[in-house]
Amino acid sequence: KKVIACSRGFGKRPPVIYVFDLNKNNDESYNLEEVCKIELAAKPTQLFCCEDESILCSCEDGSLTHYKIENNEGVLIKLVKLHEKSLTAFDLDLQSKEIITASADAKAKLIQYPSMNIIREFPTDRNLNACAMLTMNNTKFHIVGGGQDARDVALQSNASAQFETLVYPRDRVSNDG
């Protein structure tokens, strides 16, 4: 089993994804052994590790990167610049091979995985900082939310809070909008 962790970088140290093997010791304790380090060009916002040892990493520069661990090295599969501002969150549905992204550029995007082609864009009137996909009663939904940072929600009254959740049924989504 693999464990992934990341550093956002500090000073002259670049942002890095660390990949570890999780090994069980004879005394039933566990040991982490570093497999590889992957240096990033931008600060990461979220990581996801698939069972096939693929890693997806979203970054503050609006990019989404797909890596694969092969022969104890992180191999770049694809890097796509999806957003003009920070890609704040993403969710992956491995069954339908789709990714939904949320960004500070007030857009969510539905992406085909692993090609990383854009299926649909969801423009909003505010920054987005959360997204999810779910299936309920045989209908797929894409959920995006945002409007302001959590710290700002706590500092403003409910009357002026700008956080809103938008729900898009998947059956209304098509390639032509």
pTM: 0.81
Burial class (CB in 10 A: 0-12, 13-18, 19+), 108: buried
30 closest CA partner among 1, 53, 50 = 1
* Closest C-alpha among 101, 113, 106 to residue 148: 106
Q: What angle do CA 68, 118, 105 make, to 5 degrees?
A: 100
- Whether 155 has a pLDDT exceeding 90, the answer reads no
What is the phi/psi pair of residue 28, to 5°?
Answer: 75, 0
Q: What is the pLDDT of residues 92-151, one digit of tens each?
A: 998 889 999 999 999 999 999 999 999 999 998 888 888 988 887 888 888 887 766 555
Residues 75 and 56: their CA atoms lie apart, in Å, by: 12
pLDDT at 135: 80
**Residues 100 and 110: beta-carbon distance below 8 Å:** yes
For residue 26, give every residue at least 6 positions away whose Cβ sits within 8 Å of its Cβ, in sequence order, or none: none
